[in-house]
Amino acid sequence: MPQIAGTEDFEAHLDRAVALDARLGGVAQVLRAIAVASIEMSGLIGLGRLYGRLGDSRASTNTDGDVQKELDVLANDLFVSAFKRAPVAAVVSEEMSEPLVLDPACLLVVAMDPLDGSSNIDANVSIGTIFSILPVLADANGAEAHFLQPGRTQIAAGFVIYGPQTSLVFALGSGQTQIFTLDRRAGRFYQAVSAPVVASECAEYAINASNYRHWDTPIRAFIDDCEQGTEGPLKRNHNMRWTGSLVADAYRILLRGGIFLYPGDQRAGYMDGRLRLLYEANPVAFIIERAGGKASDCLRPILDIVPSAIHARIPLVFGSPAAVELVARYHSDLQFSAEHAPLFGKRGLMRL
């Protein structure tokens, strides 16, 4: 089997990190457990219909009220089993209503979305696993309290993307974001990109435009300005991207810049956003910031927000710093937003 020249093995990378900071020993064990489980997940996903109808719906729903797919449940069970072999005190998952206590004597807890983008399973679009590793709190009153910490207390976080390549994207300790890709021939992860840097500006945005009529004025104004291209106030043409898979959009932004927006809107159940702060927004914000990008809830940095509950929702905007800051200005400066509102647009009342 050919050697992969000039690349670092995942195990060696973790060993080097622990050698520099022994306190990361337990976290490294959890990351190893995630890597092992993700290799098995990658194999199952790669088989598609040959393994079974993994995209079929079950009679049950998850904490979000979404109908669970067969692979959602399989992924949850697989990763929970992996964490039982690692120093994990408790696990929170999108697929479980309450925290699952594993070993109260351990010093780490894990929050996860076992299978992000599961609606794309049968469409052969990239899906993923998102995870956040937090320290236990000495004075926690019950398992849930360990998880109600701001994202800046994460010791490690990231995601696995199952696509044309299976890649493990993470940041550990105070280190920068790293991308390791699975060599399926060897069954091992090797470093593919060291310390990616999110482009400071962008010409791509990812948003579900079918919800335009439900958005608040600042989001409409920002997207209207993007659509106007070089003739508009942003003075550049933009392309829209939307996969319906958070990990796929995050991976693209890490490698070539751009901005992702999943705002709250006027629909029932969407006012506070739809993504989960604990195990979707926080891990993504962690790796994006470590790569020089920014992440907010349209106004506040995501990593500064204290979760109100383990399944709390949040609006999420992340990517190139200049674009994320501009979205915040549309929200914080009402005059600025009003000047860009549809009333003054090319189809507005002022230009009849």
Burial class (CB in 10 A: 0-12, 13-18, 19+), 63: middle
289 carries an active-site annotation: no
Q: CA-CA distance, 9 to 6, in Å (whole number)?
A: 10
Give SS3 for 321: helix
Quick check: is 116 catalytic? yes
From CA 100, how far away is CA 135, in angstroms rounded? 16
- Selecting among 21, 66, 122, 227, the annotated active-site residue is 66
Q: Which of 14, 71, 108, 116 is catalytic?
A: 116
87: left (phi over 0), alpha (psi -120 to 50) or beta: beta
End-to-end distance of the chain based on CA atoms, in angstroms? 68
Q: Is 66 a catalytic residue?
A: yes
Which member of 108, 113, 234, 249 is catalytic?
113
Annotated active-site residue in 31, 71, 78, 94: 94
For residue 151, the 8-state DSSP code is G
CA distance 336 to 38: 45
Known catalytic membership, residue 122: no
Does the annotation mark 20 as catalytic? Answer: no
249 in active site: no
CA pair distance 28, 20, nearest whole angstrom = 12
User: In 3D, which of 83, 76, 75 has the Cα closest to residue 102?
Assistant: 83
CB-count exposure of residue 334 (10 Å: 0-12, 13-18, 19+) = exposed
One of 280, 289, 297, 303 is an active-site residue; which one?
A: 280
24, 74, 108, 115: the catalytic one is: 115
Catalytic entry in 14, 31, 54, 72: 72
- Is 231 part of the annotated catalytic residue set? no
**The residue count for the chain:** 352
Q: Which of 31, 74, 78, 95 is catalytic?
A: 95
The answer to whether 40 is a known catalytic residue is no
Q: Cite the active site residues.
A: 66, 72, 94-95, 113, 115-116, 280
